[in-house]
Every structure is written in C-alpha cells, then in structure tokens.
Amino acid sequence: MSKKSISYVITLLMITSLALFGAGCVGNDATDSGGEEMQSIRIKGSDTVLPLAQAEAEVFMTEYPDTSVSIIGGGSGVGIAALIDGEIDIAMASREMKVSEIENAHANGIDPIQHTIAWDGISVVVNPENPVSDLTFDQLKAIYIGDISNWNKVGGEDREIVVLSRDSSSGTYEYFKDEVLEGNEYRPDALINPSTGAIIQTVSQNKNAIGYVGVAYLDQTVKAIAVDNGSGAEEPTSENILSGAYPLARPLYFYTDGEPTGLALEFMEFISSETGEETVFEVGYFPA
C-alpha cells in the first residue's frame, strides 16, 4: 500500500472515531448518568407563584436528579394561555381562570383543573422613608383610580404620589382591581410594571411611590403598610394572613389539563409533602 493510501485510511478512521464519539455525547444529553430517560415538565405563569415554584423545583430535582422542571414567569394570563395552547404541563396563577378562558380551553380540547398550592397576602408597599404606615380600602381605591394624587391627603408629606401597577396579564393586577378598586379602571397615569421585582425596585428607589406585591417579595428595601377594609388596620403578617384577619389574603393555583399524571403529579404531591410545605414557609407563603 502506498504512503498516500495509508494516509487516507488513517484519516478515514479518525473521522469515523470522532463521529462515533460525537454520537455518544448526544445520547448522554438525553439520559442521566445511569442511562435512564430524563423526565421533564414545563411550568409557566404567575410572577407571584414563580419564586415558590422555583424553590420547590430546586429541592425536588435535588431529591430526584433524573427529573427536569422548567419554570418561566410572565403573569397568570400568559401561563393560562400557554396551557390552553397545549404548550406547557402546568400553569401558575394567582387568580382563578376566567369563564372565557375556560371556554377557550374546552374549545381547544383542554380540560383545566384547578389546584390550590399555597396562600398569599397581597402587600401594599411604600418607600421606607414614607411616613404613611396605614391606608383604608377607600383611600387605596382613591389613589389607584386617580381621585387622590398627593400624599398629604392621606397623612403624608406634600408630594405627588407615583402609582405603580402590574400589567393586565398579571393575576395580582386582576385581584387588586376586583378587591380594592371594586372593578374600576386603574388611573391612566399609573406606571405599568412587567414584573413584581420591578415594582420592588422602583418603590425602594422612589420616596413617592406606592405599589402592591405578593408577601414573599417583601424585603428591607420597602415598607409594607397596614390596610383597613373597615375592620381595623392589619399588617400582612403570617398570623394575620393565616387567621383571615388580613383582608388581602388569597389562594395561589396550579392549573393542569385534566388530573395531573406522571411527573406533574409527583411534583404537585411533593409540594404538599412535609418537605414541600417547609419550602412554602421558607419562601414566605403559607401551605394550602
């Protein structure tokens, strides 16, 4: 065999070996170290539920390393729409599905089933330097529909109020509108925020701002004020939320297409387990 032929054979063998090695690498991506098929579920929706679902998924995947739980926020409406379109396994929501959404789901062959996974308290937040520490529902409504625009009208300083709201795809937006605004529209100059984190950041940096967030998002950069719906001002503490004394307590949901099965069922059962409930408390919410 000529030197040229020998060189050609060696080159061909090297290419073949690399191809086989590459194929082996691709195969490993779809399996775990034991050669088992990786189980996965997709979850999308409420930014309020997001930190809870992420924390639960982290613990769950540590205990069950052959699983993958993919979680994306975006708002309750976004998650529900994705479930209706058959794009995900679980929709996260901080509100109940609307009749129109259920009708659209049925028309698309989807049978949405509601599962309460935890309880939350909607917290009204202001900057820590704001002297206002409590507001009535009437005052909140007046601020958010535009009848009150200066903090001095509610016991604060002579400063224009900067009103922050979530976007309309948010379940928290819908809940606050129903419970506090009594169905009235938000003031047209309210600053719309795409996420709860954005509200926290703005309130922490703006002395004149007011917003509303899920209790799990509270930190030292904002001040949660007490709210009064006619029974006395109550703060969003764990005791007040669990006892029902806090007037803006609400359930948080998962929605599935029919009763959950497989990994979706295992993940939901994990959330209601002792370990899962401990995680609910750690995040700042309360077990269902």
Which two three-digit tokens encode residue 111? 């049978």
Q: Report the predicted TM-score, pTM, of the whole model to 2 decimal places.
A: 0.78
Instruction: Give me the sign of the Cα torsion angle 206, 208, 211, 217.
Output: positive
Q: Name the more confident of 5 and 61.
A: 61
Q: Name the more confident of 17 and 186.
A: 186
Tell me what the mean pLDDT of segment 161-170 comes to.
95
Q: What is the pLDDT of residue 13?
A: 35
Residue 247 has pLDDT above 90, yes or no: yes
Lowest-confidence pick of 10-24, 124-138, 257-271? 10-24
Q: What is the pLDDT of residues 71-117, one digit of tens each?
A: 999 999 999 999 999 999 999 999 999 999 999 999 999 999 999 99
Helix, strand, coil shares of the chain as percentages rounded to 5?
40, 25, 35
Residue 24 has pLDDT above 50, yes or no: no
Q: Is the distance from CB of 162 to CB of 210 less than 8 angstroms?
A: yes
Q: What is the pLDDT of residues 184-199, one digit of tens each?
A: 999 999 999 999 999 9
**How many percent of the chain have pLDDT more than 90?**
84
d(CA 58, CA 61): 5
Which two three-digit tokens encode residue 254? 């998962």
Average pLDDT, the chain: 89
All domains in the chain, ordered by first residue: 39-118+251-287 (3.40.190.10), 120-249 (3.40.190.10)
Helix (H, G, I), strand (E, B) or coil at 250: strand
